[in-house]
């Protein structure tokens, strides 16, 4: 089974200026879970002064924990955020570790060496609380500030993070620089050093290669794909990077290929109405919601 992890309530909403009402966020999370989505990143534990869009994350964790079978995860930027996440009751948390030091200093104000120390401290908090801890290797495929990011640097920093206590890794195409051949090379190189702890791709569709990159990852054994409903999101600290992989398009591709996701595509598409009502005028992306599934979609799923 392929795990489609919905990151819109965090990565999507942090990238727009408006704040979605708490009731609408809860409706969104509940509706996606009802459609069969098994993991949702409900928000991030950052200071509300920096991202007021995330100020209600603790309340969302409390709500999402009441939904049977839903894995409730959140992003944390540092030790303080990790402590807040644990107190709120998350099942899992992840920390972004930028492979571009320039981006790291801009995003979390820490050098690579400082981030390794922070990862070790967060890992200790997670172990003590019995919370799953993942590290997102962001800007792994390139950076709008530095350009190309050397593959050996990504591998070296992944190993250092593993030694510091990371239980799981994702490779993040923060800036939409990845291509399918690069995805294959980098997944192989990182997995050769950290093994099955590399499970996830976090892809952006900035240049239209999101689904192609997802397929390349699947062919290399990736089992989890992050996506955002309506393609909301990007990175506020990576100029020109906008648009996550569209959950609806990803689920259509996976289901029609006969890969099991457990997600009802028609119910998933209906969730868009919650976003459209709560964020009027906000662009929502995706081909599948407009075109609809193929006439033989359900037959394809059965094969």
CA distance 104 to 100: 6
Could you list the active site residues? Answer: 235
Structure tokens at 116: 């390794």
CA torsion angle 158 43 250 256 (round to 10): 110
CA distance 47 to 104: 17
CA torsion angle 271 15 140 117 (round to 10): -110
Q: How many CA atoms lie within 13 A of 266 on its CB side?
A: 5
CA distance 27 to 30: 5
pLDDT (0 to 100) of residue 144: 87
pLDDT (0 to 100) of residue 61: 98
How would you classify residue 2: left for phi > 0, otherwise alpha for psi between -120 and 50, otherwise beta? beta
By C-alpha distance, which of 261, 187, 188 is closest to 227?
A: 261
Query: Can you tell me whether residue 239 is helix, strand or coil?
Result: coil
Q: How many domains does the chain have?
A: 1
Domain residues for the domain of 143 are 3-302
End-to-end CA distance of the chain: 15
* Cβ atoms < 10 Å from Cβ of 110: 18
pLDDT (0 to 100) of residue 207: 86
Structure tokens at 183: 């995805």
* Sign of the alpha-carbon torsion through 100, 101, 104, 105: negative
pLDDT tens by residue, the chain, 303 residues: 999 999 999 999 998 889 999 999 999 999 999 999 999 999 999 999 999 999 999 999 999 999 999 999 999 999 999 999 999 999 999 999 999 998 888 888 899 999 999 999 999 999 999 999 999 999 999 998 899 999 999 999 999 999 999 999 999 998 889 999 999 999 999 999 999 999 999 999 988 899 999 999 999 999 999 999 999 975 555 555 558 999 999 999 999 999 999 999 999 999 999 999 999 998 888 999 999 999 999 999 987
Residue 151 belongs to domain with CATH number: 3.20.20.70
Contact by Cβ (8 Å): 259, 301: no
Its pTM stands at: 0.95
By C-alpha distance, which of 144, 132, 264 is closest to 200?
A: 132
Q: At what angle do helices 22-34 and 57-64 cross, to 10 degrees?
A: 30
pLDDT (0 to 100) of residue 234: 58
**Angle at CA of residue 240, ends 20 and 119, nearest 5°:** 75
**Angle at CA of residue 245, ends 242 and 250, nearest 5°:** 165
Taking CA atoms, 34 is separated from 20, 69, 89, 232, in Å, by 20, 10, 21, 20
| 82-125 per-position pLDDT tens digit | 999 999 999 999 999 999 998 888 888 899 999 999 999 999 99
Helix residue ranges per DSSP H, the chain: 22-34, 57-64, 79-88, 101-107, 112-129, 151-164, 180-194, 210-219, 247-256, 265-270, 272-278, 288-291, 297-302
């Amino acid at each position: 089974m392929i795990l489609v992890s919905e990151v819109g309530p965090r990565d999507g909403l942090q990238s727009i200026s408006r704040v979605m009402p708490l009731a609408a966020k809860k409706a969104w999370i509940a509706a996606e879970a009802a459609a069969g989505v098994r993991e949702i990143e409900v928000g991030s534990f950052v200071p509300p002064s920096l991202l007021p869009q995330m100020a209600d994350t603790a309340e969302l964790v409390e709500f999402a924990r009441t939904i049977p079978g839903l894995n409730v995860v959140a992003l944390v930027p540092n030790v303080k955020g990790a402590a807040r996440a644990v107190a709120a009751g998350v099942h899992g948390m992840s920390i972004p570790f930028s492979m571009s030091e320039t981006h790291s200093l801009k995003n979390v104000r820490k050098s690579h060496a400082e981030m390794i120390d922070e990862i070790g401290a967060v890992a200790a908090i997670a172990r003590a609380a019995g919370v799953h801890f993942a590290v997102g290797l962001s800007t792994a495929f390139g950076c709008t500030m530095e350009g190309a990011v050397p593959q050996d640097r990504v591998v070296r920093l992944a190993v250092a993070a593993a030694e510091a206590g990371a239980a799981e890794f994702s490779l993040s195409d923060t800036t939409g620089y990845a291509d399918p051949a690069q995805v294959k090379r980098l997944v192989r190189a990182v997995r050769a050093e950290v093994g099955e702890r590399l499970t996830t791709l976090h892809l952006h569709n900035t240049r239209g290669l999101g689904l192609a990159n997802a397929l390349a990852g699947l062919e290399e054994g990736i089992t989890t794909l992050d996506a955002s409903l309506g393609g909301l999101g990007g990175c506020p600290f990576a100029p020109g990077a906008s648009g996550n992989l569209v959950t609806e398009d990803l689920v259509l591709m996976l289901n029609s290929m006969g890969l099991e996701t457990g997600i009802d595509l028609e119910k998933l598409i209906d969730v868009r109405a919650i976003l459209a009502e709560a964020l009027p005028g906000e662009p929502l992306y995706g081909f599948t919601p407009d075109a609809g599934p193929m006439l033989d979609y359900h037959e394809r799923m059965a094969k």
